[in-house]
């Protein structure tokens, strides 16, 4: 079974969030995230699927995101700060252990359930799984 969101194994050197082999997605609220959890759990060969409350995201990531110690090689630190910002606005997350499920199938479920954002953490690559442009524009207009 996969790691819990609070497990240090999901955080890389310097404390940055890098859950290799997982997707982390965020939704407008807990109800939307729970619907996605149920749909994701039905996918063939998926690993663990975990609802992560906005409070847990803030509690776990805020100290690390605010630290600004050693910069990350990529944009992981920027992602953490964004996750904290969205969680403070009430958005909840879903941590998905990809397992042997097709990333495309995961992306389809996330898109169908209106994920605000979703990132697939692979070795040396973080792949965006949902089209955030319309939502990003909505956020900029104060509608997200």
Q: What pLDDT shows up at residue 65? A: 59
Does the pLDDT of residue 106 top 90, yes or no? Answer: yes
Q: What pLDDT shows up at residue 74? A: 63
More confident residue, 139 or 34: 34
9-13, 84-88, 106-110: which has the minimum mean pLDDT? 9-13
Average pLDDT for 121-129: 92
Structural domains of the chain sorted by starting position, each given as residue range(s) with its CATH number in brackets: 16-52+91-140 (3.30.70)
Considering the chain, what is the average pLDDT of its residues?
87
Instruction: Provide the terminal-to-terminal Cα distance of the chain, rounded to the nearest Å.
Output: 33
Count of helices and strands (H, E) across the chain: 5, 5
Q: What pLDDT shows up at residue 85? A: 94
- Convert the pLDDT of each residue in 30-68 to its tens digit: 999 999 999 999 999 999 999 999 999 999 998 765 655
Query: CA 14 to CA 76: how far, in whole Å?
Result: 11
Q: Is 8 exposed, middle or buried (0-12, 13-18, 19+ CB in 10 A)?
A: exposed
Q: What pLDDT shows up at residue 14? A: 76
Q: Pull the structure tokens for residue 38.
A: 């149920």
pLDDT band at residue 6, thresholds of 50, 70 and 90?
confident
Q: What pLDDT shows up at residue 4? A: 87
Average pLDDT for 95-103: 96
Region of 22 please: left (phi>0), alpha (psi -120 to 50) or beta: beta
The beta-carbon contacts of 19-22 under 8 Å, at least 24 apart in sequence, are 19/95, 19/121, 20/121, 20/122, 20/123, 21/47, 21/97, 21/98, 21/121, 21/122, 22/95, 22/96, 22/97, 22/98, 22/120, 22/121
Does the pLDDT of residue 16 top 90, yes or no? Answer: no
- Convert the pLDDT of each residue in 67-93 to its tens digit: 554 455 567 888 888 999 999 999 999
Beta bridge partners of 121: 22, 126
Query: CA 129 to CA 131: how far, in whole Å?
Result: 7
Query: CA 76 to CA 121: how far, in whole Å?
Result: 10
């Amino acid at each position: 079974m996969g790691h819990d969101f609070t497990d240090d194994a999901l955080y890389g050197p310097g404390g940055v969030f890098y859950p290799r082999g997982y997707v982390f997605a965020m939704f407008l609220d807990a109800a939307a995230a729970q619907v996605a959890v149920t749909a994701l759990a039905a996918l063939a060969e998926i690993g663990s699927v975990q609802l992560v409350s906005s409070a847990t995201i803030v509690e776990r990531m805020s100290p690390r995101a605010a630290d600004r110690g050693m910069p990350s090689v990529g944009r992981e630190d920027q992602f953490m700060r964004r996750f904290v910002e969205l969680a403070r606005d009430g958005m909840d997350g879903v941590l998905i252990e990809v397992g042997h499920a097709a990333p495309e199938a995961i992306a389809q479920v996330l898109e169908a359930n209106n994920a605000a954002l979703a990132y697939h953490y692979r070795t040396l690559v973080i792949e965006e799984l949902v089209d955030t442009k319309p939502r990003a524009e909505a956020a900029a207009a104060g509608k997200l």
